[in-house]
């Protein structure tokens, strides 16, 4: 966390003493009741405002939304948003992470079936494939896209080339999802400074933010074509006063291939059932119409918990600033959209980022 | 919450999938609560499902969440829409497909009593 925070402060040319607000996420590897104050003491901060926030995969976007509210309200001037964990290499490692994460399900009505996070999303995938007549190769296309992007991303967890055939050959985890349909469990961190004062680079404003929370458990979802992503997107775009065609770059949560497909479609950036086709046509490549997850997403850049969901925000910011060295999108964009979900498409946070 | 869980489990032990219905707004809820999730009323009755329904989502697990589940691999989990209008998670026969009509029974797996549809 300290490393990420230091890099963010340097990037924003902000000194420790100028930080008057701190928002942290949570850590499954090292749970703590008071992560925000724990970090503040460790890092040498004495802010006027601090708290942790928990929204699963949507935590990062939720923290940025809250940071803006704090700045807008005048409560804070410069808020540090930070999260990191060694989810892969901590004691217990992958096995312990998988066991902990499965507890997102209902303690009496889901977890007792021996369910895992991949199995919850596999249920969604089975529905998605049946509903739209799509196949496993279509989902594989999404994994291949992320890997293609990650090849140009420093620090990517998975960067070896990957083809649709390679994805299809990986072992089944929870049908129809195979290993390459699932994001890895990674180590990593991310941090932002959200401030009233612009930094040394092209200022990127959070021009709109929206949330939606319609369920927690997958067995409580009534409508498989309305998880809440559409409502959150609409709220964010309305606040920004923008229509979808003004969005030039996307960062969409991709914990599993099917997560990306459902979210890209429900947010309205792909026709229903049309994600794979848009990717095949190159629409989401860095030289395409609307580049998507140019850092490789959770599927290839990696998923270190809260910081994983912050990766999309950092990357869209970098693209808007023209600082995505080696993977900068071909045309410049003024607006980007980031969407994150927590749980099983349970908590939705959408952010519209606008370059000034 | 404990008495509600005990009620649900004792019904499973007797071979039934039980659920609550609100006496005020008639909402049926599979996840038991001391109140109705729709209208907030506190008066609910327990009913028994007929045990038949339609598969709306299905998966076969090849990776277990923990050591104690490894011995059962591969096993299948499905979401089933009961004829009473409730959606629930259950174990299923690995061959079930979406849209298939299924009938439930209660099976013992490890020390757990779990609804199973085939």
As for how many domains chain B has, the answer is 2
Residue A23 in any domain: the answer is yes
Judge if pTM exceeds 0.95: yes
Q: Is the separation of the CB atoms in A286 and A168 below 8 Å?
A: no
Q: Are residues B34 and B80 in the same domain?
A: no
A171 contacts B62? CB cut-off 8 A: yes
Tell whether the model's pLDDT for residue A65 goes beyond 60.
Answer: yes
- The torsion defined by the Cα of B19, B90, B55 and B38, in degrees rounded to 10, comes to 30
Residue A80 in any domain: the answer is yes
Range of the domain at A66: 2-88+187-191
Q: Are residues B19 and B37 in the same domain?
A: yes
B65 contacts A175? CB cut-off 8 A: no
Query: What's the pLDDT at A103?
Result: 83
Helix (H), strand (E) at residue A20: none
Residue A17 in any domain: the answer is yes
Residue A19 in any domain: the answer is yes
| Interchain contact A123–B (C-beta under 8 A) | yes
Q: Is the separation of the CB atoms in B24 and B37 below 8 Å?
A: no
Nearest to B65 among A115, A127, A176 (CB): A115
Structure tokens at B30: 């599979």
C-alpha distances in angstroms, B55 versus A234, B83, B103? 32, 11, 10
CATH of the domain at B79: 2.40.50.840
Structure tokens at A127: 């529905």
Q: From the CA of B55, how many Å to the nearest CA of chain A? A: 10
Coil vs helix vs strand at A172: strand
Nearest to A102 among B65, B78, B79 (CB): B65
Q: Are residues B22 and B75 in the same domain?
A: no
Name the closest residue on chain B to residue A99, using Cα atoms. B65
Chain B residues within 8 Å of chain A (Cβ atoms)? 5, 8, 30-31, 56-66, 69, 72, 75, 77-79, 87-91, 98-99, 109, 112, 114
C-alpha of A251 from chain center? 7
Q: Is the separation of the CB atoms in A203 and A356 below 8 Å?
A: yes
Strands (E), A239-355: 249-252, 335-342, 347-355
Give strand pairing partners of A55. A57
Range of the domain at B14: 1-48
Peptide bond into A265 cis (omega under 30): no
A136 Cβ neighbours under 8 A, 6+ residues apart = A129, A168, A176, A178
CA distance B97 to A17: 60
Q: Are residues B25 and B64 in the same domain?
A: no
Q: From the CA of B49, how many Å to the nearest CA of chain A? A: 15
Tell whether the model's pLDDT for residue B1 goes beyond 60.
Answer: no
CA distance A262 to A50: 34
Residue A81 in any domain: the answer is yes
Nearest residue to A351 via CA among A309, A296, A300, A313: A313
Q: Are residues B60 and B40 in the same domain?
A: no
DSSP state of B70: H
Query: What's the pLDDT at A99?
Result: 82
CA distance A79 to A189: 17
Q: What does the pLDDT look like over A158-184, one tens digit per residue?
A: 999 999 999 999 999 999 999 999 999
B114 contacts A112? CB cut-off 8 A: yes
Buried/exposed code over A291-318 (b: 16+ C-beta within 10 A; e: otherwise): bbbbbbbbbbbbbbbbbbbbbbbbbbbb
Q: What does the pLDDT look like over A16-29, one tens digit per residue?
A: 999 999 999 999 88
A116 Cβ neighbours under 8 A, 6+ residues apart = A98, A101, A102, A173, A174, B61, B63, B64, B65
The mean of the pLDDT values for chain B is: 96
Q: Are residues B25 and B74 in the same domain?
A: no
> What average pLDDT does range A271-296 have in this prediction?
97
Q: What is the ipTM of this complex?
A: 0.97
As for how many domains chain A has, the answer is 1
- Residue A93's pLDDT band (boundaries 50, 70, 90)? confident
């Amino acid at each position: 966390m300290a490393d990420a925070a230091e890099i963010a402060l340097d990037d924003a040319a902000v000194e420790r003493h100028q930080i008057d607000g701190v928002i942290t996420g949570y850590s499954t590897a090292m749970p703590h009741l008071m992560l925000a104050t724990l970090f503040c003491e460790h890092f040498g901060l004495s802010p006027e405002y601090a708290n942790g926030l928990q929204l699963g995969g949507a935590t990062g976007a939720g923290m940025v939304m809250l940071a803006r509210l704090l700045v807008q309200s005048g409560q804070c001037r410069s808020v540090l948003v930070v999260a990191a964990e060694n989810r892969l290499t901590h004691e217990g490692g992958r096995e312990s992470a998988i066991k902990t994460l499965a507890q997102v399900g209902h303690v009496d009505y889901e977890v007792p079936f021996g369910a895992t996070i991949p199995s919850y999303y596999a249920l969604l995938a089975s529905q998605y494939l049946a509903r739209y007549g799509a196949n496993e190769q279509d989902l594989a296309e999404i994994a291949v896209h992320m890997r293609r992007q990650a090849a140009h991303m420093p620090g990517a967890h998975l960067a070896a080339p990957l083809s649709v055939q390679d994805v299809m050959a990986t072992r089944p985890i929870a049908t129809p999802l195979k290993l390459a349909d699932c994001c890895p469990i990674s180590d990593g961190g991310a941090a932002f400074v959200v401030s009233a004062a612009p930094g040394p680079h092209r200022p990127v404003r959070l021009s709109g933010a929206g949330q939606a929370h319609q369920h927690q458990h997958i067995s409580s979802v009534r409508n498989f074509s309305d998880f809440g992503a559409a409502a959150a997107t609409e709220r964010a775009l309305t606040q920004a006063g923008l229509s979808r065609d003004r969005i030039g770059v996307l960062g969409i949560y991709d914990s599993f291939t099917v997560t990306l497909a459902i979210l890209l479609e429900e947010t309205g950036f792909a026709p229903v059932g049309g994600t794979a086709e848009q990717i095949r046509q190159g629409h989401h490549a860095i030289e395409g119409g609307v580049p998507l997850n140019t850092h490789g997403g959770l599927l290839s850049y990696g998923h270190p918990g809260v910081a994983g969901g912050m990766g999309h925000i950092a990357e869209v910011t970098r693209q808007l600033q023209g600082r995505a060295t080696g993977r900068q999108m071909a045309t410049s964009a003024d607006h980007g959209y980031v969407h994150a979900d927590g749980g099983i498409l349970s908590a939705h946070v959408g952010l519209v980022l606008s370059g000034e | 919450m404990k008495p509600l869980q005990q009620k649900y489990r004792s019904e499973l032990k007797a071979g039934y999938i039980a659920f609550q219905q609100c006496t005020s707004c008639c909402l049926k809820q599979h996840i038991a609560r001391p109140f109705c999730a729709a209208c907030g009323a506190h008066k609910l009755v327990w009913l028994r499902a007929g045990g038949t329904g339609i598969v709306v989502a299905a998966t076969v697990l090849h990776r277990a969440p923990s050591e104690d589940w490894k011995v059962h691999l591969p096993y299948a989990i499905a979401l089933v829409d009961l004829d009473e209008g409730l959606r629930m998670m259950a174990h299923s026969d690995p061959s079930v497909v979406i849209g298939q009509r299924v009938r439930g029974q209660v099976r013992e797996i490890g020390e757990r009593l779990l609804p199973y549809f085939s």
